[in-house]
Structure 1
Amino acid sequence: METILQTTNLSRQFGKKMAVNNVNMTIHKGDIYGFIGKNGAGKTTFMRLVLGTAFPSKGEIKLFDGEPFDKARRKIGSLIEAPGLYKNCTAYENLKQFSLIYGGTDAEIKEILFLVGLADTGNKKAGKFSLGMRQRLGIAIALLGNPEFLVLDEPVNGLDPAGMKEVRDLILKLNHEKNITILISSHLLDELSKIVTRYGIINDGMLIEEVTAAELNERCQHKLIFTVDDVQKTAAIFAETIPAEQIRIAGNQVILSSHLEEAAELNKRLVQQDVAVNSFWVHAEGLEQYFMKRIGG
């Protein structure tokens, strides 16, 4: 599997503060990598280090399996914080201006505008665009030069639900149809959970965990927990009707990942077979709870 980005002990220090502290991140081709952290956690600084607009105090950055930076960074498009637009120019005119830097023919510009849903804005100036339209125009500019890797810093921040959906749908389209790998930061966890394939959680400059979306869904799913006097007997009773892989023993508890709607009936079966049930309940940990636990919130 091709590695698009790999950092080793990447650090950036400002005075006594470690804005990025020994970060070891890996992003594979095809990922939509959700970069989660509070404001000030180090997300933007890390992205600037990757893009070469800030320089590391120590550590290593490897792009596209080790291609030279001058070649590799030409394959990256980025939108860091608010897009810098020409407010008195149309969407087409904005892309035309930026194409002088990043490249792009008229045909490519029109294709990008169609891709981001701005092909029909005509003579409307960017200064009169909605926030969602401006974000999509910023992403359009990042797509000049046909990048293979997009770095997006808080692209849905401040948007209304409709604007969020527009940007979310665009990101999925770029990933699925154009095979663009994406690093996207946000503190809007619910929005990220709808699109990302892998997560990285950063706190006080340190990357404290990388986890796939599937792993996180497994950890955050609802569970039915029984506290009993005999876990082996309880597990055997449950195994009569529940697949073994959905039954787990932890200490004096038996945990089920399914059959939550049958809690009362399962409890009745245990009591009938002389298992002392001290308690049973449904445990649900959402993404926000998981995140807050990881950062000590």
Structure 2
Amino acid sequence: MGIADGRVVVVTGAGRGLGRAHALAFAAEGARLVVNDLGVRADGAGGSSGPAEEVVAEIRARGGEAVAHGGDIATSAGAASLVAAAVDSFGRIDTLVNNAGFLRDRMLVNLDEDDWDAVVRVHLKGHFLPLKHAAQWWRAEAKAGRRAVARVVNTSSGAGLLGSVGQGNYAAAKAGIVGLTLVAAAEMGRYGVQVNALAPAARTRMTEETFAETMAAPGEGAWDAMAPENVSPLVVWLGSEDSAGVTGRVFEAEAGRITVMEGWRPGPTADKGARWTPGEVGEVVGKLLGEAGVPGAVYGAG
């Protein structure tokens, strides 16, 4: 009996890396899984059913229940079929973990429109559409008198919170996911749905080149602080009934550290009570900035 015992959990991008770690962790806590993955390369090209099917086989070999889903969750049809796979296979959906994504890193002056569209599509639209279709199912259940105890865990990034040089498309999409999370938490609570976001740091295909030195695998016998499995316990807890009352929050998880992130809120303020002149603005803004905290550094900024 685990904290996710009997829950039906959908994880997108679950064929490798963080998604795979999340799926296996949920299964170990008694959940039944829908493992979604297109099996694309790190830049989103290609595709294979192999990764999702391998994770399903791994869960079943350990005595768990799981089915594979190979639909494109950044399309309405694919997202709808994802929810249908859970309902058809297990009778319902309790937890949605939005995790799918890939990278196409370029400095902004070299970033092609297609690379912008592709990354924003898989990360931001690929969060919105599964969330929308799951929410429609939970709303229908609530209207039928069967209010859900549902959970959504979205995957943002430190790049979305602070920015990251060479990742303008990715950072913009991940920042958008935070905004989506806040709106969804406010709108969906009436149906019994809690929505939170996670900014993970771990060694995966998406990070191994960007953070090659800081995320390198340890020597034999050492604790692997950057293993994706270190992030999954927080995801499992957020996706379980044990997290009751926690919604609209953003967490950062890295190695053994969990942080509650605090977003934009009013800082130092000046109010003239009338319109400022441009000359006055420079003086007052300089004073306000002197009173304000220093922003976190953008990743990769020298």
Higher RCO, 1 or 2 (CA under 8 Å, sep at least 6)?
Answer: 1
Richer in strand (by share): 1
TM-score by length of 1: 0.31
- Greater Rg by CA: 1
What is the TM-score when the length of structure 2 is the normalising length?
0.31
